[in-house]
Amino acid sequence: MVFGSSQKAAQLADDVTDVIPVRGRSLMHDAYTRFTRNKAAMGSVIVLGLIVLFVILGPLFAVWSNEEIDWDRMGAIAEQGAPSLENGHYFGLDELGRDLYSRVIQATRTSLLVGLVGAMTALIIGTAYGLVAGYVGGRVDSAMMRFVDILLAIPLTLVIILLLVIAGRSFFMLFVSLDAVGWLTMSRIVRAQTLSLKTREFIEAARAAGVPETTIMIRHILPNLIGVVIVYASLLVPEMILTESFISFLGLGISEPYTSLGKLIAEGAGTMAYGTIWQLLYPLFFYVTIIITMFFIGDGLRDALDPKDR
Amino acid sequence: MLIYIAKRILIAIPTLLILVIASFFLIHFAPGGPFTSERPLPPAVLANIEARYGLDQPLWKQLWDYLVNVFLHFDFGPSFKFKDRDVNDIIAQGFPISLTYGSLSFIAATLAGVSLGVWAAIKHNTWIDYFAVSLGIAAQALPNFIMGPILILVFTLWLGLLPGGGWNGGQWQYLIMPVIALSTSYMGNIARLTRSSMLEVMNSNFIRTARAKGLPTRAVIWRHAMKPTLLPVVSYLGPVFVYVLTGSVFVDLYFSTGGLGAAYVGSALTRDYAVLLGVTILYGGLTVIVNLLTDLAYAWFDPKIRY
């Protein structure tokens, strides 16, 4: 009988040698758990999801398109234009006799798009700029950051208006001008984080191992920036929507046939004295809901990804 | 400290210069000048007009003249649209109004925000705290252009208490709604900032020491906790000032207060570049100065900063 061939010994050997793999808890996994425990943030995600769903599926239920004019009711909007299920104008009519339901969907889509695309572009530009400035350091860094400081010292909304006036009001220019100012704060945050990261041991180790500088930047520093970047980007989304709505409210944003929530609110606010209050309330409701849910999501992300900063 | 002040001013000057030069070039390379209309003017007339406004000079000469006028004479030149007024007249007429309700809003937002934040922090985790936090978040989602219509709806259309617009020499009835509309969302921001800052300070060691000495809570809060609490708030005042400036554009347009904002949007729509440039530079300059002041205030407030 060979030693260890008994069943008990085999079992023991199995137990000792077979390490049952424990699933590691990564930073992201922890953050995910923390985020899902945050009731306000999770509720906001659901509400925002419903709004997105509404924007996608809403047009299927629309009886009227956003451009059709309901000539029968156009003369008496205050009396006949109120929201009603029977005539298909679920949210009522706007001042020109167009269906507000379709207009609100169109506007919500624009505002969400502005927020997302704007924040994404600002994120990419800001991260790249801040990463280079922080990592290269020295004179390049001071020159790059002085430039940002100078731009930040100017009332940026006025710059956006200036750009829109000069280059013409179009969808493309709106994104360009929003992004022309949106990346500035992001680049400062990323630079600060890069500065503290690049003195860490693991960067030194990578350099000692002969990893090229660009690879260090992309493979070792960039992934460690994600937390900060996501948090700030999530705060940037409502800010972009706010700015766009503000400019559209002033009548300097995108022009017909496009519309955004700020513009609908402006139209509703202009006619609310004539008994057509729904023209203000529907866009206002969507607007405030989007902004508040985004705030909660941003706060939740910050608590989840950066637990010490509370 | 003196060196620090000098350094900050030295940074502010190139900032202003770049602001003026950049805006100047942006506007000069814009397609479509102020004198392009549907019916083209005869070349001779156009040449005359351009000579009148100095537009026939080489660009560097125009820029130089503009810089000299702005920085040495505080003169922003003539308006392109109003033949009898120059930009200085427009600014002199509108700016005092914007400044009046702007500074009132600034003060209101700061005082209300700080009080609300401190109150919430002292009563941490009570219903007062929850109330203040919800109020702060709600206020943040209600920027000026949302508050304006809501206020008019409630106070003018439904209750009939306040006039829906106008200025009337700055009577208080005409001031209330612009100030509330302008200050609400920054009040919310400042309240949340103050609350979290105060909570952090109240948990720090030196506050525990002060409490352990047996100081009454009132003295702990006012004499020890207040100054460090206000540090992040002070650094946020610069941005708040910018927001108030920008928001005044909305207030002037919506409440017809007659301030500079209406002239700004009007000039943007009619491409009156002289006014647009003048107001942008004025607001930019003010922002640079206020940022400078907040930096200095911050240095004075923060015992850790020594220059």
Residue among A249, A250, A272 minimizing CB distance to B157? A272
Put simply, the chain B residues between 179 and 198 with a CB less than 8 A from any chain A CB are: 196
Provide, as residue numbers in chain A, all residues whose Cβ is less than 8 Å from the Cβ of B279.
158
Put simply, the chain B residues between 195 and 234 with a CB less than 8 A from any chain A CB are: 196
Put simply, the chain B residues between 238 and 277 with a CB less than 8 A from any chain A CB are: 242, 245-246, 249-250, 253-254, 264-265, 268-269, 271, 276
**Digit-coded pLDDT (tens) for A36-95:** 877 778 888 888 889 888 888 877 777 777 777 766 666 666 666 667 666 767 777 777
Q: A267, A253 in Cβ contact below 8 A?
A: no
**Residue A1 clears pLDDT 60, i.e. is over it:** no
Considering only the C-alpha atoms of chain B, give the largest distance between any 2 of them, rounded to a whole number of Å.
Answer: 86
Run means of pLDDT, 10 residues per run, chain B, 307 residues: 78 79 75 63 74 72 78 73 74 84 89 90 84 84 82 81 73 82 87 86 86 86 84 81 81 81 80 80 82 79 63
Concatenated DSSP letters for A147-210? HHHHHHTS-HHHHHHHHHHHH---HHHHHHHHHHHHHHHHHHHHHHHHHHHTTSHHHHHHHHTT
CB neighbour class for A107 (10 Å; exposed up to 12, middle 13-18, buried from 19): buried
Residue B86, helix vs strand vs coil = strand
CA distance B239 to chain A (A): 9
Q: Which residues of A touch B (CB under 8 A)?
A: 146, 149-150, 153-159, 161-163, 165-168, 242, 245-246, 249-252, 262, 265-266, 268-269, 272-273, 277, 280, 284, 287-288, 291-292, 295-296, 310
Angle in degrees, 0-180, between the axes of helices B226-254 and B87-122, rounded to the nearest 10: 140
What value of ipTM does the predicted structure carry?
0.74
Predicted pLDDT of residue A16: 67
Residue A35 token pair: 């985020």
- Give chain B's radius of gyration (CA, Å): 24
**Residue A101 clears pLDDT 50, i.e. is over it:** yes
Total number of residues shown for chain A: 310
- DSSP conformational letter for B31: S
Look at the block and give the residue holding tokens 């100047």.
B24
- Judged by a CB distance cut-off of 8 A, whether residue B30 touches chain A is yes
Spell out the domains of chain A, with CATH numbers in brackets. 26-309 (1.10.3720.10)
**Residue A143 clears pLDDT 70, i.e. is over it:** yes
**Residue A289 clears pLDDT 80, i.e. is over it:** yes
* Number of Cβ atoms within 10 Å of the Cβ of B22: 17
- Which residue out of B196, B244, B246 would a mutagenesis test of the A interface target, given it has the greatest number of A Cβ atoms within 10 Å? B246
Give the CA distances from residue A99 to residues A68, A74, A193, B87, B208, in Å, rounded to whole numbers and listed in that order.
7, 11, 49, 43, 62
Nearest to B261 by CA among A273, A161, A256, A238: A161
**Digit-coded pLDDT (tens) for B69-128:** 777 777 777 777 666 677 778 888 888 888 888 888 989 999 999 999 888 888 887 888
Predicted pLDDT of residue A310: 41
Residue B241, helix vs strand vs coil = helix
Residue A133 token pair: 């400035």
Average pLDDT over residues A228-234: 82
High-pLDDT (> 90) share of chain A, %: 1
Nearest to B124 by CA among B70, B196, B190: B196
- DSSP conformational letter for A21: P
Angle at B210 between CA B205 and CA B211, to 5 degrees: 95
CB neighbour class for B8 (10 Å; exposed up to 12, middle 13-18, buried from 19): middle
Give the CA distances from residue B292 to residues A153, B132, B269, B288, in Å, rounded to whole numbers and listed in that order.
10, 31, 32, 6
Interface contact A269-B30, CB threshold 8 A: no
High-pLDDT (> 70) share of chain A, %: 84
Predicted pLDDT of residue A309: 46
* Number of Cβ atoms within 10 Å of the Cβ of A15: 10
Residue B63 token pair: 């820029």
CA distance B21 to chain A (A): 13
Regarding predicted confidence, which is higher, A276 or B109? B109
- Judged by a CB distance cut-off of 8 A, whether residue B280 touches chain A is yes
Angstrom distance (rounded) from CA B20 to CA A55 = 43
Amino acid at A66: N
Q: B191, B132 in Cβ contact below 8 A?
A: yes
Give the CA distances from residue A15 to residues A4, A20, A22, in Å, rounded to whole numbers and listed in that order.
14, 9, 14
Angstrom distance (rounded) from CA B144 to CA A243 = 11
Give the CA distances from residue A170 to residues A212, A243, B66, B206, B232, in Å, rounded to whole numbers and listed in that order.
43, 16, 31, 56, 38
Residue B254 token pair: 């919506």
Angle at B52 between CA B50 and CA B57, to 5 degrees: 55
Q: A123, A279 in Cβ contact below 8 A?
A: no
Angstrom distance (rounded) from CA A201 to CA A137 = 18
CA distance A133 to chain B (A): 19
Predicted pLDDT of residue B268: 77
CB neighbour class for B136 (10 Å; exposed up to 12, middle 13-18, buried from 19): buried
Angstrom distance (rounded) from CA A176 to CA A208 = 41
Distance between the two ends of chain A, CA-based, in angstroms? Answer: 65
CA B154 to chain CA centroid, nearest Å: 26
Q: Residue B78 forms beta bridges with which residues?
A: B86
Rounded (to 5) percent helix, strand, coil in chain A: 75, 0, 25
Residue B145 token pair: 């252009």
Angstrom distance (rounded) from CA B232 to CA B234 = 5
Provide, as residue numbers in chain B, all residues whose Cβ is less than 8 Å from the Cβ of A167.
30
